[in-house]
């Protein structure tokens, strides 16, 4: 349980640094609000695109499962 909590804490910290585009050694006073806003917006756009891509793949997979198996699949089942 403790290791999972430590992992989640590390991931939250890493994501926070990524969103603010900070280096771990960089002082907080050197980060401008405009840089934080830009990093947040670009990260948000990337996440939205990844979500849409995953949704499209899931939808295609769902539609392909609706089709009956072709003759090649029947032959493979008969060989087993």
Q: Domain for residue 78, yes or no?
A: no
Q: Name residues whose C-beta falls within 8 Å of residue 17's C-beta, 6 or more positions apart in sequence.
A: 23, 24
Count of domains observed in the chain? 1
- pLDDT of residue 55 exceeding 80, the answer is yes
Tell me whether residue 46 is in a domain: yes
Domain boundaries, position 14:
2-66
User: Residue 77 pLDDT more than 80?
Assistant: no
Supply the pTM of this predicted model: 0.44
What is the tens place of the pLDDT at every residue in 24-45? 665 656 677 887 788 788 888 8
Distance CA 26, CA 7 (A): 23
Q: Are 21 and 35 in contact (CB under 8 A)?
A: yes
Q: What is the pLDDT, as a whole number, of residue 56?
A: 92
């Amino acid at each position: 349980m403790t290791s999972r909590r430590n992992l989640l804490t590390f991931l939250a910290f890493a994501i926070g640094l990524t969103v603010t585009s900070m280096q771990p050694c960089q002082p907080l006073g050197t980060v401008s609000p405009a840089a934080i806003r830009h990093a947040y917006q670009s990260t948000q756009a990337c996440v939205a695109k990844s979500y849409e891509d995953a949704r499209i793949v899931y939808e295609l997979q769902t539609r392909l499962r609706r089709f009956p198996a072709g003759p090649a699949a029947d032959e493979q089942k008969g060989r087993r």
